[in-house]
Amino acid sequence: MTDAPKAAAAGRAQMKTELPERFRDYKHVWVFIEMERGQVHPVSWELLGEGRKLADRLGVELAGALLGPAGPATEAAVREAVSYGADLVYLVEHPLLGDYRNQPYAEAMTALVNTYKPEILLLGATTLGRDLAGTVATTLATGLTADCTALAIDGEGSLAATRPTFGGTLLCTIHTLNFRPQMATVRPRVMAMPEAEPGRQGRVVRHAVDLEESRIVTKILDFIPDLSTNKVRLAYADIVVAGGLGLQKPENFRLITDLAEVLGAEYGCSRPLVQKGWVAAERQIGQTGKTIRPRLYIAAGISGAIQHRVGVEGADCILAINSDAGAPIFDFAHLGMVGDALTILPTLTEAFRRHLAVDRLAG
Amino acid sequence: MNIVVCIKQVPDSAQIRVHPVTNTIMRQGVPTIINPYDLFSLEAALALRDMTGGTVTVLTMGPPMAEESLRKALGYGADRAVLLTDRFFAGSDTLATSYALSTAIAKLAEEAPIDMVFCGKQTIDGDTAQVGPGIACRLGLNQLTYVTAVDGLDAAAREITVQRRSEGGVQVLRTKLPVMVTMLEGSASIRRGTLPDLLRAARAPITVWNAAAAGIEDVQRCGLRGSPTVVKKVFAPKPRAEKAKLIDVKGRRDGEIAADTLAALFAALPKLEGDLARQAVQA
Amino acid sequence: MTEHFDAIVVGAGPSGNAAAYCLAKAGLSVLQIERGEYAGSKNVQGAILYADALERIIPDFREDAPLERHIVEQRFWMLDDQGHMGGHYRSDSFNEEKPNRYTIIRAQFDRWFSAKVREAGALVVYETTVTSLIRDNHGKVCGVRTDREDGDVYADVVIMADGVNALVASRSGLKTEVRPEHVALAVKEMHFLPEDVIQSRFNIGEEEGVVIEAMGSVSVGMVGTAFLYTNRESIAVGIGCLVSDFAEAQVRPSFLLDRFKAHPSIRPLLAGSEVKEYAAHLIPEGGLKAVPQLYGDGWMIVGDAAQFVNAAHREGSNLAMTSGRLAAETVIEAKTRNQPLTARTLAAYKAALEKSFVLKDLHKYRRLPDVLHGNKHFFTEYPRLFSQAAQTMLRVDGVDKRTKEKQVRKAFQASRRVTGLIGDVFNIARAWR
Ligand SMILES: Cc1cc2nc3c(=O)[nH]c(=O)nc-3n(C[C@H](O)[C@H](O)[C@H](O)COP(=O)(O)OP(=O)(O)OC[C@H]3O[C@@H](n4cnc5c(N)ncnc54)[C@H](O)[C@@H]3O)c2cc1C
Ligand SMILES: Cc1cc2nc3c(=O)[nH]c(=O)nc-3n(C[C@H](O)[C@H](O)[C@H](O)COP(=O)(O)OP(=O)(O)OC[C@H]3O[C@@H](n4cnc5c(N)ncnc54)[C@H](O)[C@@H]3O)c2cc1C
Ligand SMILES: Nc1ncnc2c1ncn2[C@@H]1O[C@H](COP(=O)(O)O)[C@@H](O)[C@H]1O
């Protein structure tokens, strides 16, 4: 990423966006529909929601780009993409596109872009999206802004992609001048999930590619799915309860899981707890962990460092419990309790338990 | 195995501050560190070298003081260090960075073929995770990102087998050398070099290349000029206007506190109470 | 490993860097071992750099050393709970071409110094802790053991510059452990503010700086002082009290610092700042009495490890650098004469210290620690009395001045009695002499 000397950057920022002739016919907004083993990653729908706004602003069409083997899953994905706002879907069907591998995916994606020429191409910043985007952008020699948190169209119709930099301490807005498509990746759960509109109509443009297993160097020997039983669904949880160093001892993390259990919530933690080995890495919330967007986030004994903050800000309601009234978490929490988490947490757990027991009786 | 590990010296982002008035980064006094993710890759590379023999070369593009990071990497046990430094590189984005680094790697390959390039999963300042894939693409290396473990390396067959994290599980992949690998954090933490390693590192000469020495013919493709992306604006995140509404805790009974909290939560999230009740009934 | 050096220096603070630099400059083979991630990563200091001591080592240090501001004004404040009384000295003559004192940020300064040491040709390794000394069959120190694998390394002489705790020396039985009444625990914070805000708040120009030293009620009856220094874009504030007092009074250092920052005379100076970095460190304040044996067969102790701090004037780094330089010069001299580095040859180090300000100053103030320790009222009663006196004299309220003077005198007498007052004056004067 650009680490540009300010003066120089400012100088270039003034540059006129005189688009070279060869890019003049690049039009429309695309969202890469990430399907792996028949499963579409929800970030694709989130991006369609965002892409819709960009396309409307530009007065162009929103297209999904979908790669996958022919079959019912792929057809369902096409329909869903349309229901989430795509006007059309570019579809590459090939048996070799069931599992993700960089080479065939990159070839197919590059071919699509070169043929149908989008002006904006959005991908999810997932392990797949990031792996693919880097190759595609390099092959096309265009700009790529990674891990964006906000997308907009500026006065000149160019994509203004805002992303955190320096660990979230700062934000910067990045433009891709003079090159097309303008590529950006966006993390899951950063954009809101749009409402699906089931009966919506859209077109499908099929594109054939020529792939052969013998030409693909990398072989998939096995796929070990995350066991659905203990898979952490933090990113998509409705309620998340998390603890930080303020819990003081690993034993006290029980207070978090207890409350989470009563609420039917997922639980998470700040980074130091992972580093100390108190909690598994997949439970870390924040810049280098998961971004969450629950309705309710309860943070106990977490100071609210910027790297944590960027991962939770999307929550509808944040309740912070911290003994230090000056802790930064109170700057972005909605509700706060200044006090000892070790005593407050059990009290809350008990109160919810009682409240819900009454419901159960009544129900 | 001849392995190149790309490392970047980055400011310790935990210690970066924003100037309260001008909104610019106050770098002064911010310590620099080796990008933490790069250390997982460096360790994986060192382990492979220990197993199969060969050399590990650490490569960085950055200001002259990035030499400190290289020396540190030598202290962990790397064999050789190359610093790419030139004013033409200033302001590079991922495309320009991967161009410069891949050209330098190609230059190194003239001396002895490179079997593997390791990059970090991502940096903590740029955070893009794009430079590695960019290098792989330019050099035509097979790309293995988010690797959690190297299962096997068959030097004779020139094949490597790894586990790669994907969204829904772990892929077990086999591919041919040469490859570009990025390791996922938590794979294996960096070793502590021995004292002789450290002394060797302190004495080792560091190869310093400017653009020309690295074999870069067209400096227009480097730095700011070679970067399609442009930073138009840098700003600090807006503080939220209002602070948290505080629920009284001091000197009150547990029951009262809890009742207040539940009331405040249900007021803030009108549908929550009903949803929880439904969930409770189902349970 | 059989690596052998002319000298090994333990620690890369000011004393160790001075020693390693001088030795390497003279062409000796030097290994310096620092436990921190880099030089300065573990070091805490206010910090004032006294130029003279460094100038004797690196004459043109001003060209590239990371200096913050040079001091043009010194304030000394006696605090009671409401206000302060004290003196300022400010002079344009401090804006000389080669200023005498600078504020610095140790993390940066030490790193710069360490780079100079490497440039001079010393081998420097970081993140490595010296755990003990190695002796040969005659008992002469001939190397060190480190916490790394394969971590023994040898040298003709080991210079211990490992700071106030001097663990290497005390573990090896070369000195006793530091005593709680001989060390102060200082806590410090950095408060960031824009450059121009600092300049207008302290009424100073672009490169100019101010030092405030304060004592009185902030230390809640313990022996200690507080300080405030202006850096370019930050203000360092801190307070230090004797460890023995902390133990006795059962207060936390952070509590004291919070009190100091909240003091009505200090608070406005810090308003609106962003706090970063809270650090605590020990300062040797035992004076001459606490100075250990300084040399022996194959070893020397320099800097804080030798307890070289002039607490009365808050000088430390200059004593550290000077002792480091003198130790190095002793080794260089012996080496050029081909003398073995035994206690006999190294005795020249102590002689050089005695001729320098290092031991002369420590000798001058040798009584001060005891006087202050035995007379806590210097930190409680006097600030209150002086402040009261100022209030009485400055408030215009129809009471005649002679009556006011009488009130003031009475207050002093009531508190300390005439004999007590005379005793205090005598004690302080003697300790200061
Ligand atoms: C590159 C980088 C990436 C990072 N990524 C992440 C990330 O993804 N996620 C993340 O979380 N962090 C991340 N961090 C770390 C981050 O900077 C903070 O260090 C971390 O979030 C702090 O965790 P904490 O709030 O649990 O601990 P602390 O900051 O130590 O806070 C503990 C809090 O608990 C409070 N407390 C103490 N006792 C009690 C009590 N009895 N009851 C209630 N409150 C109490 C204290 O007042 C304090 O506010 C990253 C850092 C870096 C440098
Ligand atoms: C808050 C505060 C304010 C101060 N203000 C001033 C001031 O304004 N002006 C002034 O002149 N002095 C001041 N001093 C005193 C000054 O900081 C010290 O006198 C000076 O730093 C001493 O230098 P040194 O090299 O002897 O020790 P240190 O600076 O303590 O350096 C010792 C080094 O040795 C390393 N080390 C320790 N043990 C080992 C080991 N076993 N193996 C390897 N490395 C090791 C440490 O990591 C450290 O880097 C202040 C001190 C404090 C705490
Ligand atoms: N300037 C650089 N010098 C060397 N390697 C780099 C540089 N920038 C990025 N890299 C490598 O590319 C990886 C990904 O960086 P990024 O795309 O910036 O997140 C890093 O972890 C490094 O391994």
pLDDT at C204: 95
Which residue has 């914070």 as its token pair?
C189
Q: Cβ of A41 under 8 Å from any chain B Cβ?
A: yes
Query: What's A120's domain CATH number?
Result: 3.40.50.620
Look at residues C126, C111, C128, C124 and name the one whose alpha carbon lies nearest to residue C40. Answer: C111
Contact C233 B26 (CB under 8 A): yes
pLDDT at A229: 42
Residues B116, B245 share a domain = no
Q: How far is the CA of C420 from the centre of ligand 2 (A)?
A: 38
pLDDT at C49: 94
* Pocket lining for ligand 1, CB < 6 angstroms: A 167, 244-246, 270-272, 284-289, 301-303, 305, 307-308, 311, 321-324, 327, 340-342; B 13-14, 124
Residues B174, B125 share a domain = yes
In a domain, A330, yes or no: yes
Measured in angstroms, the CA of A64 and the nearest CA of chain B are apart by 20
CA angle B270, B274, B276 (to 5 degrees): 110
Count CB-CB contacts under 10 A for residue C1.
14
- Tell which atom from ligand 3 comes closest to the C-alpha of B135: 12
In a domain, A4, yes or no: no
Report whether B216 contacts B100 (CB < 8 A).
yes
In a domain, A283, yes or no: yes
pLDDT at A17: 58
How do beta strands C224-230 and C208-216 pair?
A: antiparallel
Alpha-carbon torsion (B169, B170, B172, B178), positive or negative: positive
Chain B (165-224) residues lying within 8 Å, Cβ to Cβ, of chain C: 192-196, 198-199, 201-203
**Higher pLDDT, residue B187 or A192:** A192
Report whether B61 contacts B92 (CB < 8 A).
yes
In a domain, A10, yes or no: no
Backbone torsions φ then ψ of A41, nearest 5 degrees: -75, 130
- Residues on chain B touching C150 (C-beta within 8 angstroms): 194-196
Residues A85, A28 share a domain = yes
In a domain, A288, yes or no: yes
Residues B157, B256 share a domain = no
Query: Is residue C60 over pLDDT 80?
Result: yes
Residues A353, A247 share a domain = yes
Q: How far apart are CA C101 and CA C72, in angstroms?
A: 9
Residues A69, A153 share a domain = yes
Residues B15, B50 share a domain = yes
- The residue-averaged pLDDT of C337-366 equals 94
pLDDT at B136: 96
Q: Directed axis angle between helix B272-282 and helix B254-268, to 10°?
A: 110
- The residue-averaged pLDDT of B251-274 equals 88
pLDDT at C334: 97
Residues A200, A241 share a domain = no
Residues B169, B255 share a domain = no
Look at residues A220, A105, A219, A67 and name the one whose alpha carbon lies nearest to residue B171. Answer: A220
Query: How sure is the predictor about C335, in pLDDT bands with cuts at 50, 70 and 90?
Result: very high
Residues A311, A269 share a domain = yes
Residue C419, Cβ density class (10 Å: 0-12 exposed, 13-18 middle, ≥19 buried)? exposed
Secondary structure (DSSP) of C77-132: EEE-SS-EEEEEEE-GGGS-SS-SEEEE-HHHHHHHHHHHHHHTT-EEE-S--EEE
Residues A314, A190 share a domain = no
What type of residue sits at position B212?
A: A
Query: Is residue B181 over pLDDT 50?
Result: yes
**Higher pLDDT, residue B241 or A225:** A225
pLDDT, tens digit, 9 for 90 and up, residues C30-53: 999 999 988 887 666 668 999 999
Residues B106, B204 share a domain = yes
Residues A163, A298 share a domain = no
Residues A197, A51 share a domain = yes
Among the three residues A185, A215, A245, which one is the final residue of a domain in this structure? Answer: A215
Residues A277, A175 share a domain = no
Residues B75, B202 share a domain = yes
Question: Residue C291 forms beta bridges with which residues?
Answer: none
In a domain, B191, yes or no: yes
Residues B135, B248 share a domain = no
* Half-sphere exposure in the Cβ direction for B28 (13 Å, CA): 21
In a domain, A285, yes or no: yes
**Between B and C, how many residue pairs show a Cβ–Cβ distance under 8 A?**
62
Number of structural domains chain A divides into: 2
Residues B252, B203 share a domain = no
Query: What's B179's domain CATH number?
Result: 3.40.50.620
Query: What's A292's domain CATH number?
Result: 3.40.50.1220
pLDDT at A363: 52
Determine the structural domain holding residue A61 and report its residue range. 21-215
The 3-state DSSP class for residue A37 equals coil
pLDDT at A190: 85
pLDDT, tens digit, 9 for 90 and up, residues C180-213: 888 899 999 989 888 999 999 999 999 999 999 9
What type of residue sits at position A152?
A: A
Report whether C138 contacts C33 (CB < 8 A).
no
Residues A100, A26 share a domain = yes
pLDDT at C416: 76
Residues A308, A248 share a domain = yes
- Residues on chain A touching B120 (C-beta within 8 angstroms): none
Contact B169 A224 (CB under 8 A): yes
How do beta strands A239-243 and A266-269 pair?
A: parallel
**Higher pLDDT, residue A210 or B124:** A210
Backbone torsions φ then ψ of C95, nearest 5 degrees: -85, 40
Residues B263, B216 share a domain = no
Residues B140, B244 share a domain = no
Count CB-CB contacts under 10 A for residue A361.
9
Question: Per mean pLDDT, which range of A178-182, B272-276, C319-323 is the poorest?
Answer: B272-276
Residues A190, A86 share a domain = yes
Q: Cβ of A141 under 8 Å from any chain B Cβ?
A: yes
Backbone torsions φ then ψ of B169, nearest 5 degrees: 170, -160
Whole-number percent of chain B with pLDDT over 70:
93
- The residue-averaged pLDDT of B220-226 equals 84
**Higher pLDDT, residue C125 or A5:** C125
In a domain, B156, yes or no: yes
Q: How far apart are CA B9 and CA B14, in angstroms?
A: 14
Q: Which residue of B has its CA nearest to C146?
A: B195
Q: How far apart are CA C208 and CA C204, in angstroms?
A: 6
pLDDT at C215: 87
Query: How sure is the predictor about C140, in pLDDT bands with cuts at 50, 70 and 90?
Result: very high
- The residue-averaged pLDDT of B76-93 equals 92
pLDDT, tens digit, 9 for 90 and up, residues A275-321: 888 998 889 998 778 888 899 999 999 999 888 988 898 888 999 99
Among the three residues A215, A250, A279, which one is the final residue of a domain in this structure? Answer: A215
Determine the structural domain holding residue B262 and report its residue range. 240-283
pLDDT at A9: 44
In a domain, B235, yes or no: no
Please give the biggest Cα pair distance in chain A: 71
- Tell which atom from ligand 1 comes closest to the C-alpha of A167: 1
The 3-state DSSP class for residue B192 equals coil
Contact A355 B262 (CB under 8 A): yes
- Mean pLDDT, chain C, as a whole number? 90
Residues 6+ apart with CB under 8 A from C174: C133, C292, C293, C296, C299, C301
Contact B199 C31 (CB under 8 A): yes
pLDDT, tens digit, 9 for 90 and up, residues C379-426: 777 778 888 888 888 888 888 888 988 988 888 888 877 777 777 777
Report whether B2 contacts B54 (CB < 8 A).
yes
Look at residues A268, A270, A273 and name the one whose alpha carbon lies nearest to residue A296. Answer: A268
In a domain, A289, yes or no: yes
Number of structural domains chain B divides into: 2
Count CB-CB contacts under 10 A for residue A306.
21
Residues B273, B161 share a domain = no
Question: Per mean pLDDT, which range of A174-183, B35-44, C276-285 is the poorest?
Answer: C276-285
In a domain, A280, yes or no: yes
What pLDDT tens digit does each residue of chain A (363 aa) get? 344 434 344 445 455 557 888 888 999 999 999 999 999 999 999 999 999 999 999 999 999 999 999 999 999 999 999 999 999 999 999 999 999 999 999 999 999 999 999 999 999 999 999 999 999 999 999 999 998 989 999 988 899 999 988 767 778 899 998 899 999 999 888 898 899 999 899 999 999 999 999 999 999 999 988 765 456 678 778 899 999 999 999 999 999 999 999 999 999 999 999 988 899 888 999 877 888 889 999 999 999 988 898 889 888 899 999 999 989 999 999 999 999 999 999 999 999 998 888 766 665
